[in-house]
Structure 1
Amino acid sequence: MYHIVFSADESYIKYTAVLITSIVFNTNKHQKMRNEKYYFHILSNFVSNKNRNKLLKLQNTLDKLFPCEIIIHIQNDNDFINFPNSGAAHSLKIPYYRLKLSLIFNKNIEKCLYLDSDMLCMCDIRKIFTIDLHNKIAGVVGDLGSKKNKIKYIENNKKIIHRFDENYFNSGFLLINLKEWNKHNIEQKCEDLASKCYYIKAADQDLLNAVIKPQHQLKFDFSYNFSTVAFCYVICKDESKNRLNYTRSEFNIASKNPKILHYGEKPWRFLKSYFDYNNKNINDHWWQIAENTPIFNRELLKNKLKTNTHLLCAGLGQELLKATLKFNLFKIYFLIKRTNDDSRYIYQAKKIQDNIFGVCCILGTAILYARNSNKNFFSVYFKSLKIIYHFKKYANKSRA
């Protein structure tokens, strides 16, 4: 029996359906053992009757390929009143729902796998459940970003700063040993810490990293939670401190055969972004499954026709790239403040070469963020300089 957990609000149900479909499609039906079955658990604050009926039909269709059951668990944000609104949980408490697994599993279930809904399975996921956790609390994958994050909280009237190190992991993939999880009282420890925090950025991820110490983690290969932006460029631990906690050699091996893709630029918004080791647009992998996802595929394909976010981001990013290299601060100011000319950038993006399309998307996202957050053009310029420098230095190494 394989218990796999997702978190999804009403709008993310269709994307979770794609992930579920990818899991079933990549299961080797010829190697099925007796009594094997997938239990897909969806944690949500609300699921409409329409989506419930769709999920039931999805379940019945996929069950013909491999035994499976989709179970919906409705939770209440009021149960997470002690958890701060910040970062990924700035508007909804859904990211924290995975911190209450004891509410959905009985003591007979020893292991579960948590996956973010913006993932795609590329392997027979049953093999992950065969990995021996050796009495560790969880199997985890190192996070791609900088490890300079911190949590600030108050304890005994004193302000305390908890700083993270190279062991910082991404909570989008967690193979959880439920016995050890409960034994170490992880859920209560997370809630206790959350109630004391006055600064926290990555919501549940920061809490889990603070509570699950390195000696209780089993570090998995990066391929199990392959962040797709790494196909653009990545900085490994043998190149710089506080970066991806894998060597360049380890990363290159993972990049040739990623088992689970974790999308930063969501495929339903970005039809094109980065290119994998075989020079295939990684978002095409997702859409190939989406087009064949039972029940939900029509809705997904209808939305696909309206999507041009990737072109807007890439077009803006290309202009920011050129402006940064020419030290044209006025142009950067213009990109942030003037939004009525965006249609021209969408058109220009269609001509961008594949080898820089990804970095243009990253730069374009910086422009859109600056617009929404009222960032000044100097901060965008310096951020752009950093992105361009890292891209030039590390992009080719990712193809080695």
Structure 2
Amino acid sequence: METINIVLASDDNYAQHTAVAMASVLINTKTPECICFYLIDDEIKAESKIKIMETVRGLHGNIEFVKIKNNDLANCYVSGELSRASYFRLDIANILDVAIEKIIYLDCDLLVYADIAEMWSVDMQGKPLAATCDLGIMASDRIKTQKHECIDLPFDVPYFNAGVLMMDLKLWRQGDYAAAIIDLASNNKFPNHDQDALNKFFMYNWQEIPLKWNVIPPVFNLFVKILKKPELRKKAIEAKLKPAILHYAGGYKPWEYEVHQGFNEKYYEYLAKTEFKNAKMPQFDNRRKNRSIARQLLRLRIADFWTKIFN
């Protein structure tokens, strides 16, 4: 059977969450033995690497740790809570062996609910990149204006979220795309960092895949700005009802709170299947000390109400 190559990038702070994401992939696929993870290692501690490796092998998957070699990535703009590991996806074509011609890239703050083999089989239509539209940005006139000004994105052209990607590395290598995008990211202070760089470079050269493969907070919270646009609302509700990947992009991370049904219970369920299962939980980020879970739970209740109204 065909090997499914999946790439993630992590430092030690996200080692546990990376293991949880990997566990969710393996638990929900019919063929875990076909999954090969490539983890771009940004100074992950030896004990954490052992736990990640034992988690993957215990669930019948395969894993290889790889190192970043491109010093140019150190020049890329970071701000807020972004770590430099976010930029590593830009150089995957050069990090991995040339025999690897196709990969799925996953952020570490997500959970996979469906068989990843289904995503692997999506037709990329000869494009070097496939992704889902970022409805949080597409629904916001203010942010669309920002994207128009900073990356020259026309108002009628879609913008994708870079947390879940399919990449044709053969095409990337043929076009030497990595060098061009890294140069773009290094010489600009884009507000959405590498995601903006990717969107600027591939503006007319990417394939849209079903939204269920990257359900981000504006979608699972059904923000009003999405509800007000019928074409986006329909996509969002369909994806919310049957998410294939739930992506905790943004401020509310599942590991920072006790278990709350409908928000983070699956994170704890998959955590229990990893070698990090005895970690002290929750793991609250002190930078968010004034961020109560109550607001997020209210958003989810409101989203459930709108789902019933519009579905």
Matches of 1:81 and 1:260 in 2, distance apart? 30
- Evaluate the alpha carbon distance shift between residue 218 and residue 316 of structure 1 in structure 2; reply closer, same or farther with a 3 A threshold: closer
Q: Greater RCO between the two (CA within 8 Å, min separation 6)?
A: 2
Matches of 2:135 and 2:232 in 1, distance apart? 12
Q: In the alignment, what sits opposite 2:165?
A: 174
- Evaluate the alpha carbon distance shift between residue 88 and residue 112 of structure 1 in structure 2; reply closer, same or farther with a 3 A threshold: farther
Matches of 1:236 and 1:144 in 2, distance apart? 9
Within the candidate set 20, 31, 34, 1:37 is matched to 34
Give the CA RMSD over aligned residues: 3.1
Alignment of 1:39-78 (within 5 A): 39-63=36-60, 68-75=61-68, 78=71
SS of 2:53's equivalent in the other structure is: helix
1:398 matched to 2:307? The reply is yes
Within the candidate set 257, 260, 276, 1:270 is matched to 257
Highest Rg: 1 or 2? 1
The answer to whether the Cα contact below 8 Å between 1:87 and 1:202 also exists between their aligned partners in 2 is: no
Matches of 1:95 and 1:308 in 2, distance apart? 19
The answer to whether the Cα contact below 8 Å between 2:211 and 2:239 also exists between their aligned partners in 1 is: yes
How far residue 161 of structure 1 moved from its aligned partner, in angstroms, is 5.8
How far residue 54 of structure 1 moved from its aligned partner, in angstroms, is 1.6
- Evaluate the alpha carbon distance shift between residue 109 and residue 172 of structure 1 in structure 2; reply closer, same or farther with a 3 A threshold: same
SS of 2:62's equivalent in the other structure is: strand
Q: In the alignment, what sits opposite 1:296?
A: 276
Alignment of 1:196-215 (within 5 A): 196-197=187-188, 199-214=189-204
Q: Normalized against structure 2, the TM-score is what?
A: 0.83
Matches of 1:288 and 1:203 in 2, distance apart? 32
The answer to whether the Cα contact below 8 Å between 1:315 and 1:360 also exists between their aligned partners in 2 is: no
> How many residues in Structure 1 have an aligned counterpart in Structure 2?
297
SS of 2:5's equivalent in the other structure is: strand
The answer to whether the Cα contact below 8 Å between 1:16 and 1:118 also exists between their aligned partners in 2 is: yes
- Evaluate the alpha carbon distance shift between residue 13 and residue 88 of structure 1 in structure 2; reply closer, same or farther with a 3 A threshold: same
In structure 2, give the amino acid aligned to 1:271: E
Q: In the alignment, what sits opposite 1:7?
A: 9
How far residue 270 of structure 1 moved from its aligned partner, in angstroms, is 3.1
- Evaluate the alpha carbon distance shift between residue 238 and residue 145 of structure 1 in structure 2; reply closer, same or farther with a 3 A threshold: closer
Gaps of 5+ in 1: 153-159, 274-279, 318-355, 362-390
- Evaluate the alpha carbon distance shift between residue 253 and residue 72 of structure 1 in structure 2; reply closer, same or farther with a 3 A threshold: same
In structure 1, give the amino acid aligned to 2:256: R
How far residue 88 of structure 1 moved from its aligned partner, in angstroms, is 5.5
Q: In the alignment, what sits opposite 1:345?
A: none
Matches of 1:213 and 1:200 in 2, distance apart? 15
Gaps of 5+ in 2: 138-143
Matches of 1:315 and 1:139 in 2, distance apart? 33
- Evaluate the alpha carbon distance shift between residue 11 and residue 161 of structure 1 in structure 2; reply closer, same or farther with a 3 A threshold: closer
